[in-house]
Structure 1
Amino acid sequence: MELTDKLEILADAAKYDASCASSGAPKRHSVGKDGFGATTGMGICHSYTPDGRCVSLLKILLTNYCLYDCQYCVNRRTSNVPRARFTVAEVVKLTKDFYLRNYIDGLFLSSGIIQSADYTMEQLVQIARELREVHQFRGYIHLKTIPDADPALIAAAGRYADRLSVNIELPTQDSVQKLAPEKSVHTIKLAMGSIRRKLDEKAEEPKSPRFAPAGQSTQMIVGADASDDQQILKTAETLYGSYKLKRVYYSAFSPIPQSPKSVPLAPPPMMREHRLYQADFLLRSYGFQVDELLPKTGNLALDIDPKLAWALDNREHFPMDLNRAEPHMIARIPGIGLRNAQRIVDLRRLRQVRYADLTRLKCSMKKISPFIITADYFPVNDAGPSEQLRRAMAVPAQQLNLWPELQAA
């Protein structure tokens, strides 16, 4: 098979893995040195960096042959899809050629399981080693870790990769046993634990050999099983706390032709994936707990974002006086993000915050108005009942299954 044909198959097969975005890679460049490739201080992302630059990774599988028969996976053993396999030399060549043509900033490499977990992991490590040591590649490398592989191989991967990821895929042991019987949540968590220990050792001994400076991440598939959003977010909350993951990524299940009957025949609304990302951000950055966002079992609302849903369910906190409220509570007001919350706190050290100040900060005035008090503003009649506010701010029903634009905090 021609290299271009392999690339077409294995790049397409990799598109279902959402966990390739990253940040936190160390700053490297090749100015005045042998070697090539670079990263910025903010790391590399497959779409846009925080300063708005569009960057990209070569995102491929080493092979889509696989010994496993995970029911949700397009590359499962029983799937009727075209198969291909790169050699180590071919992946190294593609990475070099694509970078030197200014197509990419780094490499995201995953693989189906071939021969054994150790053999597959050895191939991934060999690619990263050759790029770093033979060709002096200084760009970003993200390696997908094979959970069943020898811990020594995972440790070796961390010496060459900027980020490692171990995909848990499903939030419960029962779902894994049903849909991916060759996998084990216990084994996956052992791999995550070994990576965390290595990261902790590096933090305690900064002069020790490098190890995955951008940390580790994972992915969960949304809608392949009966797990609701509370179960998914509870699992994410546990993973963040126990393994210090940088990110949990959520990927809406995408049925393929001839999907087995054990998985749904229709995908979940794309808005559900988006709401999970919003809720995840509230867990990581705003100090929310899952039980606050979803006090009962069930799914996040699709028509409103999770922070607004929380505010409508907790009206006793509102309207909130911006000149008196604690900073972490200001950040919980719908329409005010972390940056503007800090700007409001800084401003009120100089003078009282007024309504016009929020306009100048480009806050979402329609969203925040019912929830705030300023020196010159108080919402009339407590802004109306929660159901009325919800109807006024909800996403139109016809848009709920479309990929949404990112909304303001």
Structure 2
Amino acid sequence: MKSWGDIFPHSLFTSYDPWFMWHNLLSILIDIFTYSNVHIVVNTLSLFFLLVLIHKHFENESKYDYASVTYIIVFSILYLSYFRYVLVRPDLLSGLYILYMLTLKNKFYLTLFVTIIYGPFYYLFFVYTGIIGLTYIIQKDWKSFLGTFLGSSIVLFIYLYIDKVEYLNTILNILNDQSLRMGLEVSEGAPLFNIFKNINYYILLPIFLFSCTIIIYLKYDYFSKNKVATFLLISSLLWTNQVRYYVLFLPLILVFVVTFFLNLNKKIFFYRVRKILYLVKKYIAYSKKAFIFYVIAIPYSIFIFSYAFSLDSRDKELDSAKFFKNEEYSNKTILFNSLNIDIYKALYFNPTIKTIPSCSIGWFEDNKEMKDIYIRMQKDDGVSEKELKKLIDFVGADIYIHRLRNDKQILNFKKLENLGITPINIYKNRIIFNIKRKINE
């Protein structure tokens, strides 16, 4: 396993690896199951625990016993919300941690233990443990709050003990990420609603905090008894402003929405909906055999789902990037003109590759002139051939890959060749250039 700084040169990443525990876990799993199969193992375990936790939350939130129909609803919620949980990233642990912690009540030692185990796997652990802690406070669950708080303190001490300076620098960059991006966006960092697109997080934070405080104060009786609703309200700043959090919390959002409608009084509109559910329940009562369901049906279904997902649903997408396996890309630094999934495909097929930009698109090296070119290269108008040459020389790129995005980014091949940037291939909307180190300009 490599650190972020090794994979993403000329970025604000260093040799420090804040995902060190997650990478160590993956290294162990790779030794056991091989590199090509480890994602199947992770997906299977993740989806199994996700299914069990969704089922637990549905039972807790629903006022009515839907018996076998519960399984249909739970599987449906899983199908609609699994995406973030099949990405082999520590975010999936954050989602499972949240789902599990929200099922606990008056558990000091258990919340302490689970938080200490989870925290070292994800450097932004405090975002999730903090929201969980606030949820416990509103629920007046002091034992669980103290366990979470103490566990978070211990985990923070671990990070600071390992490398205080680099950890704090990483957190500082996260807090300044919006300004570092200088208008650039990535799909998972985009807001759920366009109204928040151009508003600074530091302006939104007090607005959301004030609004949540007022809502909880006015409806305290409701929120003090509804843990999921409380968590979703407190975390609304995250999931309304970044799609990544919305997708991560989607299982809880769907559980809340579905149970909200199912819990409505029978005398109103949803009487007919519940009547249909009752008829369905009546005719598939054979699935009440919980032992068979949990021991056979769920593990088998999850494994097949994970296996099929890993083999089929991404095959066509991955096939388009298999050329990165070729020897000419090994141990090369590649400059892309935009942050897109090609970067991750390249690293998947050829882990020796180094890429620019990094996964944190705004975290480019602190050089004002080069940062300006780097940012404009990824915007609609692009940069001139000479500016591109400057950036290529600065980052020491061996290969430049230009993805065609719009009519504004017109490349003059003659000018590029005179600058030592030679087109060698056009492949599925990508123009691939080889870089000559010494030329006569």
Relative to its length, the structure with more helix (as a share) is 2
Higher alpha-carbon Rg? 2
TM-score (norm 2): 0.27
Higher relative contact order (CA 8 A, sep 6+): 2
